[in-house]
């Protein structure tokens, strides 16, 4: 009897594996209304309106007043960034923020690219749309949608955009020239927040798909990390015929048996398709997987359960907001930065760039609504939604940055994305790829598009 049960189990697994491998599903497109009140009977205004980031003396005076009234707790001796953001280094940032940071100048930097807004499903959706400054005769730019995550913003892409829209003048080949669209996720920055429960990554993918159609693009490339990778993946699951190619630098791939193979250790790495580089990035397993996840996922539990509670504190205190956000730009850039007194923040970023991202959250008052995105995506249970169980049948590229929170081997990626045509071990960089290593990421995007177009 036990032999029959074993054989039946093995057969069942083989059948499931075969069916799940070949089954090409798509998510239903559906529709929604996320604005306040009931959906109006009149049709939605589909106009695209120019937008400019603005500020005022009153806004800056209020910020300075709140910074001056800060009340900090002294850090423990030799704690560095192991207990979170070190308040001794925070004092340096606050001094710079209060006395040297020029928000009006940074607003001019933000307005360097054209901003727009348009109403989609009841929400004012913000985006920047950057076209090439010049095109060789007879050439057409390739539309590329780039989607940010948390606690980032559209500003993360400002340094990569020149490599994509004007590659020849920035040291890259002009074989591939893009026009880049970077929207803000609803509830982030200058995109209006939902008034209703349920606006998750699939809804956001649908809204951004409608945005691309409204801009006149029937086919386009998509790229993202963090939430952006999931939103772009969902778009490929919703409308695969419209997504020419999907490039991601993060992937949530837990619904397969491959992670379990790690427990067998290094001796069996060849059997399961792991490379020596995979072993370096995954082992020692206890540190690289379990301890790392425990250290860096506390925020996720809070934001997936009761985001509004911590949001009350962060939306009222620019200092608290800066500490909460900037801590992620330390340890998510490189886990070893927690051993440094300054969290290594200025090794990859300037204080102007870091504080500009914080100011986008502060001046729009969107930290709470941005955190609700975790509740909408994970509040029903971790990976409970159908799209987590679905594969993606769109040509895909994956950029594996060595300091990402969790390394994803090629074998894992290919299970979720069967049409993976490019997998790159990046030389350096962490979670905020476009912000940290814009040229390196741009080169990998161009490599992927070249491979795809030559197929």
**Residues designated as active site:** 226, 374, 431
Query: What tokens does 439 get?
Result: 């040229």
The C-alpha atoms of residue 354 and residue 361 are separated, in whole angstroms, by: 12
Q: Which two tokens stand for residue 396?
A: 């895909």
Give the span between the Cα atoms of 304 and 50, in whole angstroms.
34
Count of CB atoms situated within 10 Å of the CB of 214: 15
Angle, nearest 10°, between helix axes 57-68 and 318-331?
Answer: 80
**Could you say which DSSP state residue 421 is in?**
E
Residue 62, CA atoms < 13 Å, CB-side half-sphere: 11
DSSP states along 285-316: HIIIIIIHHHHH-HHHHHHHH-HHHHHHHHHH
**In angstroms, rounded to a whole number, what is the distance separating the alpha carbons of residues 281 and 335?**
12
The answer to whether 261 touches 273, Cβ cutoff 8 Å, is no
Cβ contact 371:301 at 8 Å:
no
Max Cα–Cα distance, the chain, nearest Å:
80
What strands lie across the sheet with 396-400, from one edge to the other? 48-51, 115-120, 123-130, 178-183, 142-147, 220-224, 243-248, 396-400, 420-425
Contact (Cβ atoms closer than 8 angstroms) between residue 36 and residue 196: no
Rounded Cα distance, 199 and 342, in Å: 37
Specify the length of the chain in residues.
455
The span from the CA of 76 to the CA of 83, in Å, is 9
Helices then strands, counting H and E runs in the chain, come out as 19, 9
Neighbours of 158 (CB within 10 A): 21
User: What CA–CA distances, in Å, run from 3 to 7, 241, 304, 433?
Assistant: 6, 46, 44, 50
> CB of 347 within 8 A of CB of 428?
no
């Amino acid at each position: 009897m036990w032999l029959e049960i074993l054989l039946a189990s093995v057969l069942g697994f083989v059948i499931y594996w075969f069916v799940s491998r070949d089954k090409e599903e798509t998510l239903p497109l559906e529709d929604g209304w996320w604005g306040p009140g009931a959906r109006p009977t009149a049709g939605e205004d589909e106009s695209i309106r120019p937008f400019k980031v603005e500020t005022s003396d009153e806004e800056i005076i209020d910020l300075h007043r709140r910074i001056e009234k800060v009340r900090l707790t002294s850090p423990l001796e030799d704690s560095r960034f192991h207990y979170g953001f070190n308040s001794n280094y925070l004092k340096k940032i606050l001094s710079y923020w209060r006395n040297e940071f020029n928000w009006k100048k940074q607003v001019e930097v933000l307005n360097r690219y054209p901003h727009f807004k348009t109403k989609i499903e009841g929400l004012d959706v913000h985006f920047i749309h950057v076209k090439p400054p010049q095109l060789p005769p007879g050439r057409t730019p390739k539309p590329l949608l780039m989607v940010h995550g948390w606690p980032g913003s559209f500003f993360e892409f400002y340094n990569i955009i020149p490599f994509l829209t004007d590659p020849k003048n920035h040291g890259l080949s002009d074989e591939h020239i893009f026009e880049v669209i970077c929207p803000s996720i609803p509830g982030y920055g200058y995109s209006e927040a939902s008034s209703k429960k349920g606006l998750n990554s699939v809804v956001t993918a649908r809204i951004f798909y409608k945005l691309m159609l409204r801009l006149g693009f029937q086919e386009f490339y998509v790229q993202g990390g963090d939430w952006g990778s999931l939103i772009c993946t969902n778009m490929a699951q919703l409308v695969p015929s419209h997504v020419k190619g999907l490039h991601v630098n993060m992937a949530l791939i837990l619904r397969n048996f491959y992670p379990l193979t790690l427990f067998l250790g290094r001796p069996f790495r060849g059997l399961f398709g792991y490379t020596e580089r995979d072993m370096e990035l995954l082992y020692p397993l206890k540190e690289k997987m379990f301890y790392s996840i425990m250290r860096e996922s506390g925020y996720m539990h809070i934001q997936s359960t009761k985001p509004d509670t911590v949001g009350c504190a962060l939306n009222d205190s620019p200092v608290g907001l800066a500490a909460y956000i900037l801590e992620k730009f330390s340890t998510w850039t490189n886990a070893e930065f927690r051993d440094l007194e300054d969290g290594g923040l200025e090794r990859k970023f300037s204080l102007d760039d870091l504080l500009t991202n914080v100011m986008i959250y502060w001046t729009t008052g969107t930290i709470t609504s941005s955190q609700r995105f975790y509740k909408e995506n994970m509040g029903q249970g971790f990976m409970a939604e159908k799209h987590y169980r679905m594969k993606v049948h769109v040509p895909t590229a994956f950029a594996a940055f060595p300091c990402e929170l969790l390394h994803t081997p090629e074998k894992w990626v290919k299970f979720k994305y069967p049409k993976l045509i490019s997998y790159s071990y990046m030389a350096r960089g962490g979670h905020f790829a476009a912000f940290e290593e814009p040229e390196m990421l741009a080169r990998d995007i161009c490599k992927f598009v070249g491979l795809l177009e030559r197929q």
